[in-house]
Amino acid sequence: MQVVVVESEADVAICCANLIVDEVLAKPNAVLGLATGSSPVSTYKQLVQLNQQAEVSFKETKTFNLDEYIGISSSDRHSYRSFMDGNLFNEIDINPNNTFLPDGMADDLQAEAIKYESLIAAAGGVDLQLLGLGSNGHIGFNEPSSSLNSRTRVTTLSDDTLTANSRFFTPDENQPSLALTMGIGTILEAKKVVLIATGSHKAEAVKGMVEGPLSAFNPASALQQHNATVVIIDKVAASLLQHCDYYQRVNHQIVKLAANS
Ligand code: GLP
């Protein structure tokens, strides 16, 4: 796991967007795994800007989102489809037919989960998976206690997650308590993973993910088993890490090796 600590939330977005752009420039038909939540919003703004400045094109790119709520239609403003259309897809040159999210309104949700896995496999697997981090350590909607080998499936949102996400819903709106999510096993199959986290409310989860034991009670700790994960965090989210100096030395070494190759 490569841990990159930067000054601010804005720097996290720039660094993350650059990694995504590098991936797409190297492989225009790359398959990107994408995330929702507050964390990737600034990264998506960067991607929109770089696309509009013709620095990168997403015409051949395919995307698979991590998750979708169950029981709200894709046109609902709370759906992750609406989030992605509004924050990214409608603003860039991607072909909308190449953007995939699980269908949380499917009659047969188990069949939908299997179909989603097949679509990812048929696309050749995910080249780069972007992740946020729940303050309880979840990735996608894989809540604490999720199997570290889990696949795309229906998941029950934890009280922590329901409380954290209630900020997006008014009291009279129905907040879904179920979702379809890629599993941890699905996520670990991505060739590269980039996880971003900012703010003091993420510091505990970051500590558990990077320096804690591998545990189903800290789903993000599963990334310790992935051999190409970059964690990009701001100083506040990194505040509980004990080995920041070492991570910085590792990063210097990586840059030096890249310059010499
Ligand atoms: C949500 C999403 C996750 C996201 C996480 C953190 O519930 N399912 O994919 O990473 O919670 O969200 P935020 O970035 O808003 O803190």
Distance CA 194, CA 33 (A): 10
| Nearest residue (CA) to ligand 1, atom 5 | 134
Q: Whose CA is nearest to atom 12 of ligand 1?
A: 37
pLDDT at 223: 98
Q: Quote the CA–CA distance of 22 and 204 in Å, as a whole number.
A: 30
- In whole angstroms, give the CA distance from residue 204 to residue 138: 12
Query: Mean pLDDT over all residues of the chain?
Result: 97
Provide the pLDDT for residue 95: 98
Which one of the listed residues 68, 112, 143, 234 is annotated catalytic? 143
Task: State pTM to two decimals.
Answer: 0.97
Tell whether the model's pLDDT for residue 194 goes beyond 90.
yes
Residue 80, C-beta contacts closer than 8 angstroms, at least 6 positions apart = 36, 65, 67, 68, 69, 101
Mean pLDDT of 200-215: 98
72-111, pLDDT tens digit by residue? 999 999 999 999 999 999 999 999 999 999 999 999 999 9
Helix (H) or strand (E) holding 32: strand 31-34
What is the tens place of the pLDDT at every residue in 1-32? 999 999 999 999 999 999 999 999 999 999 99
For the chain, what's the residue count? 261
Q: Which atom of ligand 1 is nearest to the CA of 131?
A: 10
Please check the confidence at residue 200 and state whether its pLDDT lies above 90. yes
Question: Tokens 């996290």, residue?
Answer: 12
Query: Is 189 one of the catalytic residues?
Result: no
| 136 a catalytic residue | yes
Q: Ligand 1 pocket test: pick from 79, 87, 130, 133 the residue with the most ligand atoms within 8 Å of its Cβ.
A: 133
Q: Are strands 31-34 and 128-131 parallel, antiparallel or unpaired?
A: parallel
Which CA distances in Å does 97 have to 85, 100, 111?
12, 8, 21
Cβ count within 10 A of residue 206: 29
Pocket of ligand 1 (CB under 6 A): 35-39, 66-67, 132-134, 140-141, 161, 165
- Confidence at residue 90, expressed as pLDDT on a 0 to 100 scale: 98
Residue 163 above 90 pLDDT?
yes
Average confidence (pLDDT) over 234-240: 98
Which of the four pLDDT bands, split at 50, 70 and 90, describes residue 258? confident
Q: Residue 243 pLDDT more than 90?
A: yes
Measure the CA–CA gap between 176 and 154, rounded to whole angstroms. Answer: 12
Q: In this structure, are residues 153 and 66 in contact, taking their beta carbons and an 8 Å threshold?
A: no
In this predicted model, which residue has the larger pLDDT, 84 or 171?
A: 84
Q: What is the mean pLDDT of residues 63-71?
A: 98
**Alpha-carbon span 127 to 22, nearest angstrom:** 12
What are the φ/ψ torsions at residue 194 (nearest 5 degrees)? -125, 115
Q: Cα-flanking dihedrals φ and ψ of residue 32, to 5°?
A: -105, 135
